[in-house]
Amino acid sequence: MLFFLAYVRNFVYLCTQKGNTMRKIFCFFAAMLLCLPMMQGAIKVHTIGDSTMAEYDESTTDKRGWGMYLGSFFDPAFVTVNNKGKSGADTRAFYTGAAYWPALKSQMHAGDYLLIQFAHNDEGTVTYGMDNLEYAAYCQEHGLPAPTDARGTNPQTTYRDMLRAFIDEAREMGVTPVLVGPICRAYFQGNDIKRNGKHDLGDKFSKIENGVLYENQSLPAGDSTMSYVKAMKVVAAEKNVPFIDMTEATRQIYLSYGETQCLNLLFCTGDKTHTNAMGGNLIARAAADSLKSAGILAEYISIPTDIAATPNAIEIGETYTGVAQNKEFLLTGYGLEPKSGTVTLTATANLQISLDKASYASTANAAYSGGSMFQKVYVRANYTEGGEQRDTIYAVSGEHTIAVPVSANALSLDGGAAVSATWAIDAKPVADAVVEGPISAAFTMSNMMAADTKSDFTDGDETGVTMVRFHNSDATGAKVAWPANEIDENASRYLDFAITAPEAMDVRITGITMDIAAHSTSTMCYHINTGFGDGFTDVQTIDEKVNMPNLSITHLALTPTLTIPAGETLHMRILPWHNLGEAKSGKYICVKNVVISGMAFEPTEGLESVQHSVFSIQKIVRNGQLLIIRDGKIYNAQGQILGNE
């Protein structure tokens, strides 16, 4: 294997010395390599679901989906995890969204696995347990405002049909589907989790019968008609698909901690649905254990009994020289011997580490006691030179050493042409952006309307500041109430700020700034997401806020690493929702002075990205010893060179 990789890297070097013909040959050869089972992570586990599974940026929120940690329990030499959990998605939205299921199908190949977890958003936010399209048709027939939230399926009909569609289409591609019960919400009731916390809406749901809408319906405790978990089990049996009961597994985890400790240790503040790092890690561990017990990829799953790092490697991807990137990993251990001790952490040149997210240095000491360790380690990477970067964090406890490789591709900002788009948003309607440099810009809204301006905002010591107020609307732009019980973004409701790169230049975004506030409410929430093209692909959440303070302006200064390829469009969307238990009107999100800035460069050629995707850092175990392969050399866990590949 090592000889083979050395041969390939020599071939890559030769290709970079030749012209376009050799580059084409290399790209074909590299694509063929991706299909070979001998390559690292030949089996991919694709995960689809909602916000409880999704990816989150460590620098913007303490929310962590369990899908972020699942890969750490697989042997990376054979299995990698492609986490595609999506905030706010129900089964139908994920299936029909161009950036989600259709895009994922192009990434799946025969021999892969697909883990399917949905229910949180399928339960609906306007009417519980109903198919939203059925409710929309009812509204149209009775002259009622059309629902602005497209989420919601019925567990007996649409929900099952969507699960069947995922299963059938995965199997057609040679992919093995696995149904995963949705994790519980931490809705405690004495020494148990409430019925709706286990995704059974039998205590409160809506239905339409003979053209009549019935709300606040209920069923006896033993009737599982409105249980999404039961519906998933039925489909699993019908389709002969493995079912992993993470609903029961998370119920047991929550109860083992008790209500107070569960909410304090495992969940985000004030949130009973979304987990923090500790909760996400424990759930991923339980999911891996359940998969192993079910015989699914069992030979590649390892549940650590010693101190372990999660994730076991950090891939920063593209970053800019001189712009710090913040990442994190977890040091975890359960049932440790000795029961107390210290882990010494050391970082190489371009990295600093911290245990409190305040004081950063090249070394740190993390103590544990009681036979358990859960320590979040914050990593700050800052590169002064461009190119591929390789660093390592070592964690040493007694004779046990963990090496966490950190990789990045640093891009220089020297020699670019400055570009920017500025939306003042000081009146309605929103005026066109002021553009500098060879880009174009546009502003649009979906299920939002600009209502008016108000002059009662506070900006630090300054009072009487004016901002435009934006409100929820229907498809025609008419003002309608914010739906009740929204706990996450509605993908069809947003303010969209778009930048299009010129045909002959790439644009590297270096900063996004804006002023943002809430009006007439302290329960307004938002995500700021970025995505590309009409399909809004490669979605990243670059900022979020829950329960914004009323009338107080926040100045955001975000530094995401985003490159807009020549001729393509980047969309930045502000997706608000109103976190209240009843429908309310007259509640606003307010935005002004939105600026997206960057640098334009000649387009980069595609060879580097192909090389990076195929030849990442590798970790292998040989004769019980952890080894790291990088740049054609073999290192031990202490960083000593042992030889060449």
Please report which helix (H) or strand (E) contains residue 45, including its range. Answer: strand 43-48
- Does residue 515 carry a pLDDT above 90? yes
pLDDT at 345 (0 to 100):
97
In tens, the pLDDT along 538-556 reads 888 999 998 999 999 999 9
In tens, the pLDDT along 289-348 reads 999 999 999 999 999 889 999 988 999 989 999 889 999 999 999 888 899 999 999 999
Rounded percentage of the chain residues whose pLDDT exceeds 90:
75
Which is more confidently placed, 487 or 27? 487
Say if residue 242 is preceded by a cis peptide, omega within 30 of 0: no
Q: How crowded is the C-beta side of 523, counted as CA atoms within 13 Å?
A: 19
- Does residue 43 carry a pLDDT above 50? yes
- Does residue 32 carry a pLDDT above 70? no
* pLDDT, mean of residues 218-241: 97
CB-based contacts of 431: which residues, under 8 Å, 6+ apart? 423, 424, 425
The DSSP output letter for 584 is B
In tens, the pLDDT along 169-182 reads 999 999 999 999 99
Residue 604 pLDDT class (50, 70, 90 cuts): low
Q: What is the signed CA dihedral for 166, 532, 87, 511, rounded to 10 degrees? A: 160
- Does residue 30 carry a pLDDT above 70? no
Pairing relationship of beta strands 243-244 and 314-320 according to DSSP bridges: unpaired
Number of Cβ within 10 Å of residue 510's Cβ equals 20
In tens, the pLDDT along 470-511 reads 999 998 899 999 988 888 899 899 999 999 999 999 999 999
The pTM for the full model equals 0.79
Task: Answer for the pair 458, 465: CB distance below 8 angstroms, yes or no.
Answer: yes
Please report which helix (H) or strand (E) contains residue 243, including its range. Answer: strand 243-244
Q: Which residues pair with 530 in a beta bridge?
A: 540, 572
What are the structural domains, with CATH classification, of the chain? 42-300 (3.40.50.1110), 308-412 (2.60.40.2310), 417-601 (2.60.120.260)
Average pLDDT of the chain is 88
Task: Answer for the pair 120, 51: CB distance below 8 angstroms, yes or no.
Answer: yes
* pLDDT, mean of residues 625-642: 55
Q: Among 123, 124, 47, which Cα is nearest to 80's?
A: 47
